[in-house]
Structure 1
Amino acid sequence: MTSVTNDIIITDRAARRIGEILADEPQGAKLRISVNGGGCSGFQYGFDIDSGRAEDDLLIENGSASVLIDEISLQYLKGSIVDFVDDLIGQSFKIENPQATASCGCGTSFSL
């Protein structure tokens, strides 16, 4: 089942992959998705393993997947779909962000 929280969708494929990644981490670890300045288009997505949860973090859970998004990044991610793709060029998390006006070829950098 796809998890939808605060207009952010974590697909089942993404949730399964996140669960696999977190299974090899210490108990309580979560995937943190963030938006940072930089990249070739102005902003870039960050993916990190984090065991701490700040008071203003949004926590999205789907099965064994736990995702944290900080309050500032959340404003840039509203309406986004987080998916996991496995194709000929490799495996990666893919974010479909309706707020992005442009993105670069690598898929991790975008502009508003």
Structure 2
Amino acid sequence: MSDAPDIELSPSAAKRVATIAAKQGKAAMLRLSVDGGGCAGFQYVFGLADAVGEDDITAVRDGVTLVVDSVSLDLVRGAMVDYVESLGGAAFKVENPRAASGCGCGSSFSI
């Protein structure tokens, strides 16, 4: 059995979620889910969460909660959710060790 967390939230992602949630008057909870589709087979979907469900797994950093449902977790276990800013723009990014390949935009992947 590994001591590695199921999923992690980077400090920069936590800071960005806290900022967005404060502006919208919502709880600082980011939901990550995986849907079929995208140019590589699966795509990451992000949104603010209102609550944690019974089958959700959570990770907390700096008062911000990352919420992932158990089905999506099977596809992203061991991943780190980060927030990156570059010349091309700013976005949440999933560093997923289970992804065999991804697309150029970084929002979809295959296993």
TM-score by length of 2: 0.88
Which residue identity does 2:73 align to in structure 1?
L
**Aligned-residue CA RMSD in angstroms?**
1.5
Shift of 1:62: 1.3
TM-score by length of 1: 0.88
Aligned length in residues: 108
SS of the residue aligned with 1:19? helix
Tell me whether 44-53 or 85-94 shows the greater mean CA deviation.
44-53
Identity %: 43
Alignment partners' CA distance in 2, 1:9 and 1:27: 21
Change (3 A) 1:81 1:29: closer
Shift of 1:29: 5.4
Which structure 1 residue ranges, 4+ long, deviate > 3 Å from structure 2? 26-29
Match of 1:42 in 2: 41
1:27-66 aligned within 5 A: 27-28=26-27, 30-66=29-65
Deviations 1:4-44 (A, max 9, x none): x7331211111111111111233435211001100011000
Match of 1:22 in 2: 21
Shift of 1:107: 0.3
